Amino acid sequence: MVSPTDEPLTPEVVFRDYVPRVYNLARRMLNNDADAEDATQDVLLQVVRKLDTFRGDAAFTTWLHRVTVNAALAVRRKRNRREEHRVHDPLENFTEEGQHSGFVRPWPKLPDNMVLDSEQHQLIEEAIGKLPETYRDVFVLADVQQLPNAEIAESLGLSLSAVKSRLHRARLMMRDALSRHYEERLS
């Protein structure tokens, strides 16, 4: 995420620094390009009304994230397309005694400055799209957008502990999904 620039919010700054993150956040939450476009459009209409009151600073980014989350949730409600992905619970991969029930295989070492190739990019986007919405929202805000847990809790109307527990569950699901790819690479 680009850090706030403290520049005046000219149309150029809005389209360069903020529109991409609005669109990408909405797209990842909604897992649908057309829905993401609707949400982005809603957000931009709200931005126009605020152009004079905000600069491109931290207060604006916080406000923008909240407005984007609300717009995405509103589009989701309107569509009423309950896409419930069934994902295996990673915490079931243990014996009754609490030991790992299968092999835990290592992945290849990641480079220090990780740059994803298009195959990895697609793989991760797909895995995010398959997370149940409850977990996906928190995961996208925390681990993709890098927002602080407190901000996420406020945006989604959750307690801090609920945010952390959903984030953890989402990471475990993501780890399982990515394992299929990264374990193979090693063998």
106 CB-contact burial (10 Å; exposed 0-12 / middle 13-18 / buried 19+): exposed
Least distance in angstroms from the C-beta of 138 to other proteins = 11
Six-digit token string for 105: 């295989």
Question: Candidates 43-51, 53-61, 74-82, 151-159 — which segment interacts with other proteins by CB under 8 A?
Answer: 43-51
Contact pattern from residue 59 through residue 88 relative to other proteins, giving x for each residue in contact according to CB under 8 A and a dash for the rest: ------------------------------
Any idea what DSSP says for residue 94?
Answer: B
Least distance in angstroms from the C-beta of 37 to other proteins = 5
Residue with the two structure tokens 């406020």 = 154
Return the bridge partners of 55, or none: 8
Q: Does 13 bind other proteins (CB under 8 A)?
A: no
Contact pattern from residue 100 through residue 119 relative to other proteins, giving x for each residue in contact according to CB under 8 A and a dash for the rest: x--xxxxx--x---xxx---
Which residue's CB is nearer to other proteins, number 51 or number 58?
A: 51
Determine the Cα–Cα distance for residues 49 and 31; give it in Å rounded to an integer. Answer: 28
